Amino acid sequence: MGLKDICPIIEFKDIGDERGKLVAIEGGITIPFEIKRVFYIFGSDSSVVRGRHANKESEFVLINVAGESKVRLTDSHEELVVVLNRPMVGVYIPKMIWKDMFSFSKDSVLLVLASTHYNGSEYIRDYNDYQELMN
């Protein structure tokens, strides 16, 4: 299984009508985990790289609900860059995948759904430590 299979793109259904678009995301149904936390990142510019970590416990879905950003994913062997630029599309990121978010457009609003409450101690923030754990 490659990274594209491990970190699939999820296409959300547009249940909107002539009044505009509407996307509904339900934990355990639209995405493969119960949502315990939601955060969103905005006001980052094209020079910023965020993330730079892997998580021992958390799973995530990333959605650019406005604007565009990119996320570079790796399992320490393979690398995959996903462009997030449609509110109808998310990328699922399981545990133990290293992620860097970058190339934020000025209007980027990156919505993140997480399977856990925040716990700083489950973050791996040193890439060498991550590589050692993965090998």
| Residues in contact with ligand TYD by the rule CB under 6 A | 37, 39, 41, 50-51, 118
Rounded least distance, CB 50 to ligand TYD, Å = 4
Residue 4 or 118: the one with the smaller Cβ distance to ligand TYD is 118
Residue 75 or 112: the one with the smaller Cβ distance to ligand TYD is 112
Q: What is the DSSP string of 80-123?
A: EEEEE--TTEEEEE-TT-EEEEE---TT-EEEEEESS---GGGE
Structural contact between residues 108 and 68, judged by C-beta atoms closer than 8 angstroms? yes
Q: Given the structure tokens 């430590």, which residue do they identify?
A: 129
Rounded least distance, CB 51 to ligand TYD, Å = 5
> Would you report the helix, strand and coil content of the chain in percent, each value rounded to 5?
10, 40, 45
Q: Would you please indicate which residues are annotated as catalytic (active-site) residues?
A: 53
Residue 37 or 86: the one with the smaller Cβ distance to ligand TYD is 37
Rounded least distance, CB 95 to ligand TYD, Å = 15
